Amino acid sequence: MDFALSEQEKELFKRAKEFTREHITPKAHELEKRNEFPKEVVQKAYEAGLMNLHIPKEAGGPGLSLLAETLVSEATGYGCAGMATSIMCNNLAFAPLVIGATIEQLKEYVEPLITGKDAKFGAFCLTERKAGSDAAAVATRAERDGDEYVINGVKCWITSAPVASLFTVFASTQPELKHKGLSVFMVPKSKAVKIGVIENKVGQLNSIQSEVIFDDVRVPKECLVGKEGEGFKIAMKTLDKTRAGIAAIATGVAQRALDEAGKFANVRHQFGQPIGRFQGIGFKLADMGARTEAARLLTRQAAWLADRDLPNSKVSSFAKFFASDAAMQNAIEAVQIMGGYGYIKEYPAEKLMRDAKLLQIYEGTNEVQRLVAGNAILKESVNLDTGYHVKYDGRDAPII
C-alpha cells in the first residue's frame, strides 16, 4: 500500500503552501474586514496555476487529477477557508461541464475563461430557498422555444455569483418528472441574469455568496449539457467528486487549528510550566492530531477513487462529514486551549471556528452525507455473509 504523492503532486503541494504563506495567511485577517470577494489574491492564484486544474487539456486546461485539486485546497484552506473557497469555486462550477459537456462545448464556453490573462469565474447554480438538500424540489424552469431555452427562477447561496462570467444552472425541463426532469445548462452572463441578495455570513467572509435571478434568460439549445433529464445524475456525479475538495479545505483548517493550539501550548506558562505539559492539554492535542490525519487520509482516498472512476459516493461522504466535523472540533479545542486569547480577533482561533462551521453545511450538509453513507452501507449489507445465517425476527438469537 503506497500513500506517497508523485513528484508532480509534491511540487504542486509545495507551491500551494508557499503561495498560502505569502499571499493568504498574512492577509486573511485584514481582507476579512472588507467582507468581499478577494479578487487580488485569487488573481495571483490564477497566475500561479492553482486554479481550473481539472479542465482537460483538449479544452485548454492542465488536465490534472482530483487528488491534485485537493492538495491545493488543503494548502489554501490552511491559510483561510474563505479564500480557499473562492479559489476552488471554479472546480464546482465547471465540474458538471467536464462530466456532461462535449469537448466542443468546453472549448466554446469554458476555455476562454481559463486561458486569458485575467481570472474569470463560474458559478454552480443548484440551491434554491426551497430546494437545498432536496434537489427534486428545484423550481427554476427551462422551457424550449424553437432553437432556444428560456430560463426563469431564483437561485441562492451561489458562490462567486457576483463576479461570475458563466453560470452552470440546474433547471427543470419537465417538472412533472421531479428529479428525472432536471436538466443542466451553461448560461453566459447577460443583462437578464441579475444578482440578488448578497449573504451576510458569520464566517468565510473572504468568499461571496448571493442570489442569482434568471428573468426570461434565453440561451441557445447548444447550451444544454448532456440531454434533457440528465441534470440530477450530473449533479450527483459532480458532488461525489467535489465533496473531496470541501474535505480538503476542512483538513487544512483542522491542521491550522492544531498548529495554532500546539504553538500556544508551548509558549503559554501556568504553574511554572508550559500548559502543553499538562495531561489534559496533551490529550486534546493528540485527539486533534488524530482527527486531522484521519481526515487527510479519507480525503485522499475519496479523490483517489474518483480519479480512477471507481465508486466513491460513500467514501466521499465519509470524507466530507468527517473532515468538516474534525475542522469544527479542532477549532473549538484551539479556542479552549488558548482561553481568552482564542476568543479575540487578534488571534486566528476564533476565525477558524467561524469558518469551520460553514464546512459542515455547504455542498451537502453533514446530515445528508451521513444519510448517503448510511444508505450505501445498507445496500452493501443486504447480501453480506457474516458467517452465520440466523434470521433476526425477534425469536432466534444469532449464533456467535
What is this structure's pTM?
0.94
Domain locations along the chain: 232-380
Question: In the prediction, which pLDDT does 383 show?
Answer: 75
Active site (catalytic) residues:
363
Question: In the prediction, which pLDDT does 391 show?
Answer: 61
Distance CA 25, CA 29 (A): 8
Question: In the prediction, which pLDDT does 389 show?
Answer: 58
Question: In the prediction, which pLDDT does 95 show?
Answer: 96
Q: Which stretches within 173-312 are classed as H helix?
A: 231-267, 279-307
> CATH for 232-380?
1.20.140.10
Name every residue whose Cβ is closer than 8 Å to that of residue 4 and which is 6 or more positions away in sequence: none
Question: In the prediction, which pLDDT does 392 show?
Answer: 58
Inter-CA distances, 180 with 138, 225, 284, 366, Å: 11, 15, 47, 24
- Grid coordinates belonging to 303: 479523490
Distance CA 226, CA 361 (A): 29
Could you tell me whether strands 121-125 and 164-172 are parallel, antiparallel, or unpaired per DSSP bridges? parallel
Question: In the prediction, which pLDDT does 36 show?
Answer: 82
Question: In the prediction, which pLDDT does 396 show?
Answer: 56
Residues in the chain: 400
pLDDT in tens, 222-258: 999 999 999 999 999 999 999 999 999 999 999 999 9
Residues of the chain with pLDDT under 50: none
